[in-house]
Structure 1
Amino acid sequence: MSTKSTRAACGIRVVASSLPTREAVAAARLELAGEILQHIIVFFSNEHDPEILLDALKCDFNDTSVSGCSTSGEIGPLGMMKGGIVIIAFPENGFRLMSEVITDIDKGGVERASEIARRLRIQMIGSASRSAKEHVFALVLVDGLSNAEEALIAALDLSLNGIELVGGSAGDGLDFQDTVLIYRGNLVRRGAILFVIETELPVRIFKTQNFEPTPVKLVVTAADTANRIVYELNAEPAAAEYAAAIGLRPDELGPYTFASYPLVVKIGGNYYCRCIRTVNLDGSLSFFCAIDEGLVFTVARPRDMLRTTLEALEGVDAALGGTDFVLGFDCILRRLDAESRQVRHKVEEIYQRFGVAGFHTYGEQFNAMHLNQTLTGIAFATSIDKPREP
């Protein structure tokens, strides 16, 4: 099946298509015929030319605001896709959505981001009749090659002042060349899109990760922090030292290795991934997250992805009294790890059971944190009844 759609009880429609660009958009328009929409968010593979996609969206959805970003894989009614398009369509009724683009986040856009977040929060909460915790959330899409997520997310979280934040960093497969956002008829690079959304239904944000630390430590002893490059670990060439720590040769390193042997740091008593993106020709390592000299990495090993993912989604489902739909942001390294362990189809089954739709990212956002090798998301309840206390 090349195109498939679902409808959540809250009215959100999800359309996934593996057709060529213009045909995929036309098929989505047909699936959504008769719907009164206020905003659609599109997640698209880098196999789709963004200029052609933008033109097709303008033609077929000229009456609806459109946002979105490029991906490293798409998640929706057709499962975990490569080369596809997934559209999340918010209906006019039951939701109130405000959004704004933040440009040049790699060149001092953080102060502007704070102002935008503060303005959207005041506009939304000032007239909202429900509590922010249960019915209002913030969503952010970020250029995954901006190297600016940490400062951006911290600033947004502070200015949102209690509105919970979730999101993902745009990808481009595993090319690391050209990530792009779409916002209201324009292509945006090195930027971000912030949404503040009110819904009639209770919502919960969540995160889950599947690794545990080992005793092996690696200290960053030489780095280019601005570009997230580590030259030395334990005063040795970075790639060679990392390879030795996990029992491999440097020429055996690659994306599947990074997924199977993540590096983590301890913050506030918890461990968070700081994942490797690529091995460079000079033997250095480029990372998805911010790094600094003196940072102590711990080599980690994966836990059971199926069990940890299912536990997280079942926990949210129980807290909400039933899950209607989940907008999810899943690290590309989790997908690679699932493929290498031959459990991808079982992960797909879990996602479809809980109505997960979203994309594979270059990084995930969760309140004030920019994360790696994590699934973050926002879950919508099946009814307007007050959810159970966590």
Structure 2
Amino acid sequence: MLEAQAGLGAGDYQHVVAFFGTDHDTDLLAQTLAEVFPGVPVSGCSTAGEIGPFGMMQGGLVLIAFPRHGFRVHSELITDIDRFGVEHATDAARRLKTHVCPGSERLPRQNVFALLLVDGLSNAEENIVAAIHWELDDVELVGGSAGDGISFQRTAMIHNGKVAQRAAVLMMIETEFPFRVFKTQNFEPTSIKLVVTAADTENRIVHELNAEPAAREYASAIGLRPDDLGPFSFASYPLVVKVGGDYYCRSIRNMNPDGSLSFFCAIDEGLVFTVARPRDILSSTAATLHELDEALGGIDLVVGFDCILRRLDAETRQIRHQMDALYQKYGVTGFHTYGEQFNAMHLNQTLTGIAFGQRAEA
């Protein structure tokens, strides 16, 4: 904690955001953060890995502090998202909107964005992301789903000293700094199709693909045996769906003992998956960050939400050190997620985020 605090340096902070590994005692961490930053709101979540000043890590603590000079941050904890997600998320967005723009005026999109941290085991991301985006007049929204390594057992949200599960933290951020909300992905579709023929949609579990046991059919499609399936094969052979002319990942979370497959995103019977293969993750990510750097006249900081499967893919291809160097070059700080939020969409196997430039001198 002291090392992370020292890394921030002295300052007058508007809001502190914390990303932490699940080895931390969450209750103690929330209490300590409240004591270390008295009077400063603190939000955060557990992760599937962190991204800090020295690249990717696991079991660490990353703190991002928004200064008072140039930022105004409004936040709310959204509870019971698995039962009342749409209702609670809409109410929270409406309340935050009144802080930014009282009355019936529309939000000023040029200097406002929304940041969402959400329990990655809630199975509620799609509904609350869509509800928030609708309520906020299409103000750009970005964020990530909290994780717990690759255990898929228990995630945690923190907000102003409180710890919660099945919850989300929504922040409305006003800034005088130039920014760009972005996403990048690195896969291309193949000709192989898999149709969901039996599923438990509420729990995001696919039992059958093409009327065959799901794990066996997926393994056959990518040239592996079911016993060889695992996080690294899911990262190397993502499943995608076509929406509005573009492809989006619906990534596999894990294989279950009965041969079914659990997913990070919503699924439904009749859904047509296309097996995809990754393109060069290093060059595609570098191209996106370079474009942001050019557009902003130099990047000051990137708050990034990077799918856990992208990290596993980088490790499989033995380019993790190159990814670390790339993230350090452009100041990418954030965490590895169980899913990424981008405007009205809940995504997988992407890097989403917000890049900040330097504030223009008065």
Instruction: Give, as a single letter, the amino acid of the residue that structure 2 aligns with 1:86.
Output: V
Instruction: Give, as a single letter, the amino acid of the residue that structure 2 aligns with 1:249.
Output: R
CA contact (8 A) 2:249 2:349 kept: yes
Once the two structures are TM-superposed, the CA of residue 314 in structure 1 deviates from its matched residue by 1.1
| Identical-residue share of aligned pairs (%) | 64
Matching residue within 325, 328, 346 for 1:349: 325
Gaps of 5+ in 1: 1-24, 386-390
Instruction: Give, as a single letter, the amino acid of the residue that structure 2 aligns with 1:343.
Output: I
Residue 195 of structure 1 aligns with which residue? Answer: 171
The Cα offsets for residues 65-109 of structure 1, whole Å up to 9 and x where unpaired, read as: 111000000001121001110000111211001001110010022
The correspondence of residues 44-193 of structure 1 with structure 2, limited to 5 A, is 44-126=20-102, 132-193=108-169
Normalized against structure 2, the TM-score is what? 0.96
Normalized against structure 1, the TM-score is what? 0.90
Residue 283 of structure 2 aligns with which residue? Answer: 307
Instruction: State the alpha-carbon separation in 2 of the partners of residues 84 and 210 from structure 1.
Output: 27
SS at match of 1:226: coil
CA contact (8 A) 1:117 1:160 kept: yes
Instruction: Give, as a single letter, the amino acid of the residue that structure 2 aligns with 1:62.
Output: P
Once the two structures are TM-superposed, the CA of residue 48 in structure 1 deviates from its matched residue by 1.2
Residue 225 of structure 1 aligns with which residue? Answer: 201
CA contact (8 A) 2:14 2:68 kept: yes
SS at match of 2:82: coil
Once the two structures are TM-superposed, the CA of residue 176 in structure 1 deviates from its matched residue by 0.2
Residue 19 of structure 1 aligns with which residue? Answer: none
Matching residue within 242, 254, 262 for 1:278: 254
Matching residue within 350, 354, 358 for 1:378: 354
Gaps of 5+ in 2: none
CA contact (8 A) 2:209 2:218 kept: yes
The Cα offsets for residues 127-162 of structure 1, whole Å up to 9 and x where unpaired, read as: 9x9983331110000000000000110000000103
Instruction: State the alpha-carbon separation in 2 of the partners of residues 232 and 383 from structure 1.
Output: 53
Once the two structures are TM-superposed, the CA of residue 32 in structure 1 deviates from its matched residue by 4.1
Instruction: State the alpha-carbon separation in 2 of the partners of residues 195 and 157 from structure 1.
Output: 12
Matching residue within 340, 344, 350 for 2:316: 340
Residue 253 to residue 53, structure 1, CA distance change in 2 (3 Å):
same
What is the number of equivalent residue pairs in this alignment?
A: 360
Matching residue within 234, 239, 252 for 1:258: 234
Instruction: State the alpha-carbon separation in 2 of the partners of residues 326 and 63 from structure 1.
Output: 26
RMSD of aligned residue pairs (Cα, Å): 1.6
Instruction: State the alpha-carbon separation in 2 of the partners of residues 53 and 158 from structure 1.
Output: 34
